[in-house]
């Protein structure tokens, strides 16, 4: 099975987590920085989850829990229940991740590297999470060694470059030069950008 790495806005999206143990906790902690609306349903929920800013339902899963849900994390140790949730989600066209059961996953969790406005998801398609974690740590190290303002600088000047430079190839060359300056530790100012734009306006 091949997984396509696309990024989606989950802010305020309703996400249901079925299960209240440490496995569910790890998934929730990955989701929390992206501000979803998380509900946790399970007869037993660990204190660490209860301490988080999530909705708690202390009971077993009911079919109606899926109403209005964007996606589901099935993190129970009950294979029968996990199978039922997977089937229901498929019938309702709801994305579902069944923890530690790749065959019952419509999506998987990557190892997430996030630093200085850059977020990367690294996955081995579920084959080796430990290897994905290792690669993530390498990537975080690379991000930490770079100018922390690079993303914001490039974003700041993007609108004016797109407005004043007509040809896409010329815009790309300007962005490449700005990136080179940032990577060398020199943060370009407005005058530098204006000079670059003038070169391609002629």
For the domain made up of 1-109, the CATH class stated in words is: alpha beta
Question: For residue range 10-36, what is the model confidence (pLDDT) as tens digits?
Answer: 999 999 999 999 999 999 999 999 999
Do residues 59 and 84 lie in contact, with contact meaning Cβ atoms separated by under 8 Å?
no
Q: Count CB atoms within 10 A of the CB of residue 17.
A: 28
Alpha-carbon Rg of the chain, whole angstroms?
22
User: Could you identify the residue written with the tokens 């708690």?
Assistant: 56
Question: For residue range 34-91, what is the model confidence (pLDDT) as tens digits?
Answer: 999 999 999 999 999 999 999 999 999 999 999 999 999 999 999 999 999 999 999 9
Question: For residue range 152-198, what is the model confidence (pLDDT) as tens digits?
Answer: 889 999 999 999 998 999 999 999 999 999 888 888 888 999 998 98
Dihedral in degrees, nearest 10, Cα atoms 41, 92, 14, 107: 90
Whether pLDDT at 117 is above 90: no
Question: For residue range 133-154, what is the model confidence (pLDDT) as tens digits?
Answer: 999 999 988 888 777 788 888 9
State the Cα–Cα distance between residues 189 and 43, nearest whole angstrom.
57
* Domain ranges (residues) in the chain: 1-109, 149-199
């Amino acid at each position: 099975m091949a997984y396509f790495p696309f990024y989606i806005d989950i802010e305020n999206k309703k996400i249901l987590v079925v299960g209240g143990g440490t496995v569910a906790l790890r998934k929730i902690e990955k989701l929390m920085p992206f501000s979803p609306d998380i509900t946790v349903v399970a007869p037993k929920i660990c204190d660490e989850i209860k301490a988080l800013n999530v909705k708690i339902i202390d009971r077993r899963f009911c079919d109606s829990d899926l109403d209005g849900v964007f996606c589901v994390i099935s993190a129970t140790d009950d294979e029968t229940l996990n199978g039922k949730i997977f089937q229901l989600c498929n019938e309702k066209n709801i994305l579902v991740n069944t923890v530690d059961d790749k065959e019952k996953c419509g999506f998987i969790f990557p190892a997430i590297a996030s630093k200085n406005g850059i977020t990367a998801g690294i996955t081995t398609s579920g084959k080796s999470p430990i290897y994905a974690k290792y690669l993530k740590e390498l990537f975080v190290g690379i991000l930490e060694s770079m100018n922390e303002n690079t993303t914001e600088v490039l974003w700041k000047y993007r609108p004016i470059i797109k407005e004043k430079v007509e040809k896409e190839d010329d815009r790309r060359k300007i962005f490449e030069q700005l990136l080179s300056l940032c990577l060398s530790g020199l943060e370009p100012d407005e005058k530098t950008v204006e000079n670059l734009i003038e070169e391609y306006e002629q």
